[in-house]
Amino acid sequence: MSSAEIQVRDLHKSFGDNHVLRGIDLEIGQGEVVCVIGPSGSGKSTLLRCVNLLEEPTKGQVFVGGTELTDPDVDIDAVRRRIGMVFQQFNLFPHLNVTENLTLPQRRVLGRDRATAARTAAENLARVGLAEKAQAYPSSLSGGQQQRVAIARALAMGPEVMLFDEPTSALDPELVGDVLAVMRRLAEEGMTMMVVTHEMTFAREVADRVVFMDGGVIVEEGSPGQVIGAPRHERTRHFLSRLLDPAMAEVEEEASDQVGKPGE
Amino acid sequence: MTDTGVRLQPKKKGLTRRQRRGLSRAVQYAVFAAAVIAFAVAADWGRLKNQFAQGSIAKQMFPEVITLALKNTVLYTLSGFVVGLVLGMVIALMRLSSVGPYRWVAGVYIEIFRGLPALLIFIFVGVAVPLAFPGTEIPGGTYGKVAIALGLVSAAYMAETIRAGIQAVPKGQTEAARSLGFSPARAMVSIIVPQAFRIILPPLTNELVLLFKDSSLVLFLGVTLEERELSKYGRDLASTTANSTPILVAGLCYLLVTIPLGYVVRRMESRSQEAIR
């Protein structure tokens, strides 16, 4: 076993006839920040969700911290405690206030006592700059604040790995910065992170490695400067040009990007 | 009124639309007024008052109608509601189970008990069961029997309501809970069910109102004097006094509870509507 924190081997995932992942091999080392980019329907979110087994892979293996998640006998709840996940739609618990969102999982899952859980919650809220919102309910927070609470909730469990599934895609543009700042700080602190994102600036500046996916396979991967700055593959160049300058895109035949499901 | 709009229309034969609307409204008021007048004239007010609103008889009912009859009605209702809620919760979870036989049993239960009249179930619990299993006694006497009969009836409805509530909680909530390390059962208990109950609080309260009325079926179980609830109490008194005033008073006692509850339900519904927006 290598020292990789996350290891994915020959991963396949089908939804019925739809072959979304077609053989993914990926390793993420400890403390590494990897951004996964690619067009919608390329399978990048599915890949991320396979890493903590929210989606059951059709074939292949996933290891996190040396434990094989795809082993049918593994205690998946125990492994997931070590993997934090942040969703596009935040998924805060609306019936609980911010502090309770952070303390309930600690107490129910980790069995921490009330005082310890509350202390950890306060620390992590401060970490995402929302200490003053401790008593607020999620519905009274902006999207950016909700997402930062969601990050704090995952961090409060003391994960070794953090997964981000398009964490800023549901946010108003002016709120994206706050969330990215929190993620950038987390990366600087040495957290192992796997981030599915469309934020090229973030990927360029924060990621150690960028993975470009299309059609359920990894097309190319490498340093941000390499993949975003000087892509070797035509598909990567095409994707980046559309993303970086959407106004310049030409109306084209649909055949080229008819892979996977439309819209995630 | 949008007079200008009407004036701009080309002239047509007969009434304008505005005139027709006015005429229709006048006719509706006229019919209503005629019905009220006809009733007022035709009714024998003295007799009605004598039969339904005799102050002395009504006075004689207090305080027993409250301290005994209403109290028992509330007790029967609440005990039935609790049994129904617990049983309904179990059946709802069975209905959502990944184990086939549980789903089937729950489905059969719901189909049967939704389809049977509540009265039949009262007779079943009160008469058929003791006859079929001699020697067995339902604990709690009449109270136990009523709790079970009302519980059996309401569980079927509540199970469907609870199931719908659980399914109305977004899938992302389960995913968030699971990704934090909650087991499926814990995620259900700590995260999903509390949210489901917020969603179904109005229909559950409606169910409480229905049960409150159904508790009158205790009448058919044969109860002691101390166990009488509103309907039985009212009927007994109506026959001893040969007067209908006790029925009216009992009815008012039901409304005393059901109307405020209905108001609470409407308040909750409009509030949850706002929360969705």
Tokens of A152: 């704090």
Q: Does A102 touch chain B (CB under 8 A)?
A: no
**SS3 of residue B163 by DSSP:** helix
Q: How many CA atoms lie within 13 A of B10 on its CB side?
A: 0
Tokens of A96: 């609980």
Supply the ipTM of this predicted assembly.
0.88
User: What is the distance, to the nearest Å, from the Cα of residue B48 to the centroid of all Cα atoms in its chain?
Assistant: 29
Q: What's the gap in Å between the CA of B194 and the closest CA on chain A?
A: 8
Give the pLDDT band of residue B275 (cuts 50, 70, 90).
low
Average pLDDT, rounded, for chain B:
86
Cβ(B218)–Cβ(B142) below 8 Å: yes
| Inter-chain touch A109–B176, beta carbons under 8 Å | no
Interatomic CA distance for residues A118 and A122, integer angstroms:
6
Chain B residues near residue A108 by CB distance under 8 angstroms: 182, 186, 190
Using CB atoms, pick whichever of A85, A91, A154 lies closest to residue B173: A91
Given a cut of 80, whether residue A259 has pLDDT beyond it is no
| pTM score | 0.80
Nearest CA in chain B to A139: B275
Residue of B238, B245, B255 whose CA lies nearest to B50: B245
**SS3 of residue B54 by DSSP:** coil
Cβ(B162)–Cβ(B196) below 8 Å: yes
Give the pLDDT band of residue B29 (cuts 50, 70, 90).
very high
Interatomic CA distance for residues B150 and B144, integer angstroms:
10
Interatomic CA distance for residues B42 and B48, integer angstroms:
11
Tokens of B75: 């007790």
Given a cut of 60, whether residue A254 has pLDDT beyond it is no
3-state helix, strand and coil shares in percent for chain B, rounded to the nearest 5 = 85, 0, 15
Tokens of B135: 């020697």
Q: Which residues contact B167 (CB under 8 A, 6 or more apart)?
A: B96
Pairing of strands A192-196, A18-28: unpaired
Interatomic CA distance for residues A215 and A257, integer angstroms:
8
Given a cut of 60, whether residue A1 has pLDDT beyond it is no
Q: What's the gap in Å between the CA of B22 and the closest CA on chain A?
A: 48
Exposure letters A161-199 (e unless 16+ CB within 10 A, then b): bbbbbbbbbebeeebbebbbebbeebbeeebbbbbbbeb
Given a cut of 80, whether residue A48 has pLDDT beyond it is yes
Cβ(B208)–Cβ(B77) below 8 Å: yes
Tokens of B78: 């609440």
Please report the pLDDT score of residue B110 as a whole number: 94
Determine what percent of chain A is predicted with pLDDT higher than 90.
Answer: 84
Tokens of A95: 């019936």
Q: Does A216 touch chain B (CB under 8 A)?
A: no
Among A108, A149, A194, pick the best mutation site for testing chain B contact (most B Cβ within 10 A).
A108
**Numbered residues of chain B with Cβ closer than 8 Å to any chain A Cβ:** 170, 172-173, 175-183, 186, 190-191, 194-195, 198, 275
Determine what percent of chain B is predicted with pLDDT higher than 90.
Answer: 43
**Which residue is listed with tokens 């980046």?**
A240
Q: What's the gap in Å between the CA of A91 and the closest CA on chain B?
A: 6
Q: Which residues contact A214 (CB under 8 A, 6 or more apart)?
A: A38, A39, A42, A235, A236, A239, A259
pLDDT higher at A150 or B8: A150
| Inter-chain touch A93–B173, beta carbons under 8 Å | yes
User: What is the strand order of the sheet A59-64 is part of?
Assistant: A18-28, A6-15, A59-64, A67-68
Using CB atoms, pick whichever of B182, B195, B198 lies closest to residue A105: B182
The tens digit of pLDDT for each residue in B37-71 reads 999 988 888 888 887 777 777 777 778 888 888 88
Chain A residues near residue B186 by CB distance under 8 angstroms: 108-109
Chain A residues near residue B196 by CB distance under 8 angstroms: none
| Inter-chain touch A93–B198, beta carbons under 8 Å | no
Please report the pLDDT score of residue B3 as a whole number: 52
Q: Does A81 touch chain B (CB under 8 A)?
A: yes
The Cα angle at residue B78 between residues B77 and B80, in degrees rounded to 5 = 65
Please report the pLDDT score of residue A260 as a whole number: 43
Nearest CA in chain B to A157: B180
Residue of A109, A204, A213 whose CA lies nearest to A153: A109
Residue of A224, A258, A205 whose CA lies nearest to A40: A258
3-state helix, strand and coil shares in percent for chain A, rounded to the nearest 5 = 40, 25, 35
Exposure letters A8-19 (e unless 16+ CB within 10 A, then b): bbebbbeeeeeb
The tens digit of pLDDT for each residue in A61-109 reads 999 998 999 999 999 999 999 999 999 999 999 999 999 999 999 999 9
**Rounded to 5 degrees, what are φ and ψ at B138?**
-75, 125
Query: What single letter denotes the amino acid at residue A158?
Result: G
Interatomic CA distance for residues B186 and B219, integer angstroms:
43
Using CB atoms, pick whichever of A81, A87, A150 lies closest to residue B181: A81
Residues A4-25: what's their mean pLDDT? 93
| Inter-chain touch B180–A92, beta carbons under 8 Å | no
| Inter-chain touch A80–B179, beta carbons under 8 Å | yes
The tens digit of pLDDT for each residue in A172-231 reads 988 999 999 999 999 999 999 999 999 999 999 999 999 999 999 999 999 999 999 999
Tokens of B92: 């709802």
| DSSP collapsed to 3 states, B211-260 | HHHHHHHHHHHCCCHHHCCHHHHHHHHHHHHCCCHHHHHHHHHHHHHHHH
Interatomic CA distance for residues A120 and B274, integer angstroms:
34
